[in-house]
Amino acid sequence: MVFGNKHLAYNISAATIARNLFVRNGAGQTSSDHGEIALCEPGSTGTIVDNTFFSVDEDPQFVYYETRGVGTVTGGGRWILRNNTIYGHAEVKKKIAPTPAVGVIVYDTNGKGANISLVARAPYGQGTTPAIESYFFTTDSSWPQIGATGTTERATAYMPGGDPGHAGSNMASGTMRVTRTTALNVRYRFKGMLDSMTMTLIVPVPPQPVGY
C-alpha cells in the first residue's frame, strides 16, 4: 500500500515498483481495499513494471486506485503499468518453483574456504521435482538477477528422479565456493516455471560455532 502526506509537495513522485512477485491480493480487507498494489496517495506518480501477479480469482483487480476523498489517486497517466504478467491464483502451484535448500557446507581443513551444495525440492503441491535448467547466485549481498552485474548463472545437469533420502542419488543441483564471510543469495530456474524465490544464507569464513 502506497500512502502519502496531506501536504502534496511531500508526496511520492516518479517511483518505480519493479520485478516483484505478488502471490495474493488484498481482497476482503475490512477497509474494502483491493489489489496487490494499493495506491492510496493523492498526487503520487510512478511506474509499475515487470511484476508478476497471482490474483485472487473472485477479485482479479491487481492494482487498486483509491477513489475516496479529495485529491484521490487516479490511473490517468500518473501511474504507468508496463510489461506486468497476471495469472489466476490457481496457477500458483504450477508456476512458482521452490527455493533452493542447502544440502551441505564443507569447510577446508584450514577453515579458509567452504563449498556449499544445494539440494533440489519438489514444487509446492507436486510430488516430483522437474528438471532444473540453471541456478544463479550472488555473494555481494545483492539480489540475484540473470544478466545483472554480480550475478553468476550456472547450468545444472539435474534431472527428475533422484531419491531425496540419498545424497548420491542425483539430488545435488548446484555447488558454490566462498573464501570469506558471505551473504549467499541463490535462485533456481526450472523449465516451464517462474524462477524460484531467493534463498539467503550467511556463510561465516572461517567457521564459527552455532550462535556466534
Residue 138, domain CATH? 2.60.40.10
Last residue of one domain, picked from the residues 93, 111, 146: 93
Q: Is residue 164 part of a domain?
A: yes
Per-residue pLDDT at 105: 93
The residue among 93, 122, 151 that closes a domain is: 93
Burial 145-174 (b: 16+ CB within 10 A, else e): beeeeebebeebebeeebeeeeeeeebbbb
Domain ranges, residue 41: 8-93
- Structural domain contains residue 136: yes
What pTM was computed for the model?
Answer: 0.68
Same-domain check for residues 123 and 75: no
The answer to whether 14 and 45 are in contact (CB under 8 A) is: yes
Sites in the chain below the pLDDT cut of 50: 69-73, 75-76, 162-171
In a domain, 192, yes or no: yes
Is the Cβ–Cβ distance between 40 and 3 less than 8 Å?
Answer: yes
Q: Which of 120, 132, 114, 134 is nearest to 176 (CA)?
A: 114
Q: Domain end: 29, 60, 93, which one?
A: 93
Task: Note the pLDDT tens digit of each residue in 174-190.
Answer: 889 999 999 999 998 88
